[in-house]
Structure 1
Amino acid sequence: MTKPPTVYDVAHHAGVSIATVSRVLSRPDDVKPATRDRVLASVGELGYVPSGAARGLAARRTGVIGLFFQGLDAMDDLGDIALEGDEAAAGGARIVRDIPERTDTRTLNLYFDEVLRGCELESWRSGFALLVGVGRGSTATQTVRDMAGRVDGLMVLAGSTSEEELARLSRHVPIVVMAGPRRGDDLDHVSVSNAEGMRTLTAHLIDDLGARELEYVAGSLGSPDDAERWSGFRAALADRSLEAPEEPTLRGDFTREGGRRVGRELFRRDGLPRAVVCANDQMALGVIDAARIAGVAVPEELIVTGFDGIDAGRLSAPRLTTVRQPMETLGRVSVQALARRLAEPKLPAMSVRLPVEVVLRESSESSVAVSLP
């Protein structure tokens, strides 16, 4: 590899000053067209790439914003990949029989995929580079601290790190909290209508479908989204004088395998509830998997609903009734909120709450495909 060209090389090649090269790269309209063309020709011929680090030192900005969230489920089972020897990837093909009962711990984190896509799109649109970090357990705090030292601002999924840590970091870098309600802090927040969505869905199951025995499948402990959805579920029951426990009795940890585990537990009981209301789509799809294996008909014997609106729910059999949240929009609006904070640091903290939709499909009503477009 040869030594990369510098701004000095470009200036010498084009016969101009270093300041002129800088103006061409940062404010090209301020430079005469002939001079600008000569400098750009030298940039292309030499293969010069401006140093982001140098620009950052000059402007005290990196042009990079960060997105931090908890580690993926697959991190728990992540092993080494061999590059040499018998374990190396040398090509070939084999046949593998897919068994429905098999446990797959490599759950697709489709919610994160959609939020990340929104962040990527809006970062590109706004002229930022996006740095993504994940952390789990003891690594989470160190990871988010490292990221905060490398970016102009940081978006953090609620519950990914402690509120105390967010308060400490916010003294040094602007922070937007995603998918969580404000809890006495002065940070910018972007969330969705979790409680309202779950309350509306549960009311529909009770009022329109006549369900009276409902079980709630919670996600991970400490999840702000889950807490809001649980409160919406309980509120709908309380509005109709139906009893609800103080805390969820079933948890699936937001994973499809967790939903299968909950389903197997339910099907070992003497009787079934009329409806299983899951805190996210992945767990709902897991319950449907378990029902299919156990021979339980959905929705005739058991109504199953989710929350998120991932594509897998639209493609499942039966298709999943869910509360569709604007995941991509959540990512985009979070970037917009961070850009606003970077442009005007003294503005009051903002809270944006995005609307949701209750989407009715065949997992709750067998006739829904006929009655709804």
Structure 2
Amino acid sequence: MAPPNAPTVYDVAERAGVSIATVSRVLRTPEAVKQSTRERVLAVVQELGYVPSASARGLAGRRTGALGLFIPGHEAIDDPVEAHATGTGVRIIDDRTGSASRHRGFRADYFDELLRGAELEAWRSGHALMIGAGRGDGSIDDLAGRVDGLAIVASTVSDEAVERLAARLPVVLLAGGRNELPVDHLAVDNRAGMRAVAEHALRVRGPGAVLVLAGPIDSPDAEERRQGVRDALAAHGARLDAQHDDGLFTRDRGRERTAEALAGGPLGAVIAANDQLALGALDALLDAGAAVPEQCVVTGFDGIEEARLARPPLTTVAQPMEALGRTAIRTLLARIAEPQRARSDERMPVTVVLRESCPPA
């Protein structure tokens, strides 16, 4: 609560000899106010120590000053990591199998970068960013009631929920495949990126089979990447041992599926629908004594930092994850400013990054 004698917008307006509307414009859109007036008002603001009330601005403009980003909630992957108490406030975890790191959850690195971009752009525009995480239509309503616009990662809620929310506030849908909903859509070119990296892998692959770690069947992004791999395989006439997996995009899944494939014979290429699956494939190939890239090349998709630090470093398709978050916020602000503007459907380009796991020919 503000101190009882805290200066108000009325005090500033009276001292500066302007209306309260002019004070508001100076603080929110200073470029719209004549320089001499702006300087006089800002001098009074400084003299009185006036701090604008966010709640008052929201009531006056029917705005909250906040934007929302809704992402999939992290799901448990394994049983809790076993830890041993030492009696000193410190726990000891045996992480020789990587069990602790697996509990970062579903595509954590991807969402870290997406959130960073959205936070930076919201801060730059003078807005707060509220984050929600969950799955299912009931998990998003509370967030939607607190913000002026909402960016939603595709497939976290139903199409019906997206349409219902779009009737009351600006909505931009992030990622996913083709969008027929009446909302702005922002995604990356999954199919073209996956085709490009798969074609390169097929050109330089070893003599063994081609393994495709395709990701969840119900993921629109994974389906577009499957199409890209199919395009590349059709062009090369390569043998396909595809794993159409309905599990998560996890390192464990990549390790398990690659180990199973290796039990049936040597692999010449592993083409994975995300970096975590590809990192798991590298683990399995290392365990089996298969040389990468001499015997088998490996590629991923996303461009997370862990891919660069892998041994060998992972060839991947880098998504503009931070830029995706920034552009989502800009799209919301444009929709708020101009509600009747034409619906946008933007595909951001991706970049194939060649590293040692699948080097240039």
Measured against the shorter chain, the TM-score band is: 0.7 to 0.9
* 8 A contact 2:204–2:358 mirrored in 1: no
Identify the residue that residue 84 of structure 1 maps to in structure 2: none
* 8 A contact 1:63–1:152 mirrored in 2: yes
TM-score between the two structures when normalised by the length of structure 1: 0.82
* 8 A contact 1:284–1:304 mirrored in 2: yes
The answer to which of 228-237 and 98-107 deviates more is: 98-107
Identify the residue that residue 46 of structure 2 maps to in structure 1: 40
Identify the residue that residue 289 of structure 1 maps to in structure 2: 283
Equivalent-residue separation in structure 2 for 1:32 and 1:249 (angstroms): 62
Determine if the alignment matches structure 1 residue 300 to structure 2 residue 294. yes
* 8 A contact 2:243–2:257 mirrored in 1: no
Identify the residue that residue 348 of structure 1 maps to in structure 2: 342
Percentage of pairs with the same residue = 41
* Closer, same or farther: CA 35–271 of 1 in aligned 2, 3 Å: closer
* 8 A contact 1:323–1:359 mirrored in 2: yes
* 8 A contact 1:107–1:255 mirrored in 2: no
* Closer, same or farther: CA 238–26 of 1 in aligned 2, 3 Å: same
* Closer, same or farther: CA 224–235 of 1 in aligned 2, 3 Å: same
Identify the residue that residue 332 of structure 2 maps to in structure 1: 338
* 8 A contact 1:10–1:21 mirrored in 2: no
Equivalent-residue separation in structure 1 for 2:12 and 2:286 (angstroms): 74
* Closer, same or farther: CA 59–14 of 1 in aligned 2, 3 Å: closer
* 8 A contact 1:285–1:313 mirrored in 2: yes
AA aligned to 1:107 is R
* 8 A contact 1:65–1:153 mirrored in 2: yes
Residue-by-residue CA offset, 1:197-227 (whole Å, 9 max, x unaligned): 1111111122344667322112233211111
* Closer, same or farther: CA 151–177 of 1 in aligned 2, 3 Å: same
Equivalent-residue separation in structure 1 for 2:267 and 2:110 (angstroms): 27
Aligned residues: 347
Residue-by-residue CA offset, 1:17-66 (whole Å, 9 max, x unaligned): 4986775465256658566534433336xxxx533222111101111111
* Closer, same or farther: CA 216–130 of 1 in aligned 2, 3 Å: same
Query: Aligned runs of 1:193-212 on 2, under 5 Å?
Result: 193-209=189-205
Determine if the alignment matches structure 1 residue 174 to structure 2 residue 174. no
Identify the residue that residue 160 of structure 1 maps to in structure 2: 156
Query: Aligned runs of 1:113-128 on 2, under 5 Å?
Result: 113-128=112-127
Identify the residue that residue 325 of structure 1 maps to in structure 2: 319
Query: Aligned runs of 1:91-110 on 2, under 5 Å?
Result: 92-93=89-90, 96-100=93-97, 102=99, 104-107=101-104, 109-110=108-109
Q: 1:149 aligned to 118, 142, 145, which one?
A: 145
Residue-by-residue CA offset, 1:268-297 (whole Å, 9 max, x unaligned): x22033111111001111221232233332
Q: 2:271 aligned to 277, 284, 291, which one?
A: 277
Q: 1:259 aligned to 229, 246, 254, which one?
A: 254
* 8 A contact 1:104–1:257 mirrored in 2: no
* 8 A contact 2:212–2:240 mirrored in 1: no
Identify the residue that residue 3 of structure 2 maps to in structure 1: 5
Equivalent-residue separation in structure 1 for 2:144 and 2:324 (angstroms): 21
Query: Aligned runs of 1:73-84 on 2, under 5 Å?
Result: 73=75
Residue-by-residue CA offset, 1:174-206 (whole Å, 9 max, x unaligned): 111111233322211111110001111111122
* 8 A contact 1:218–1:253 mirrored in 2: no
Query: Aligned runs of 1:41-60 on 2, under 5 Å?
Result: 41-43=47-49, 49-60=51-62
* Closer, same or farther: CA 11–344 of 1 in aligned 2, 3 Å: closer
AA aligned to 2:254 is G
| Gap regions ≥5 residues in structure 2 | none
The answer to which of 233-242 and 143-152 deviates more is: 233-242
TM-score between the two structures when normalised by the length of structure 2: 0.84
Residue-by-residue CA offset, 1:253-276 (whole Å, 9 max, x unaligned): 112222222233233x22033111
Equivalent-residue separation in structure 2 for 1:265 and 1:75 (angstroms): 20
Q: Secondary structure at the match of 2:264?
A: coil
Equivalent-residue separation in structure 2 for 1:235 and 1:147 (angstroms): 40
Q: Secondary structure at the match of 1:99?
A: coil
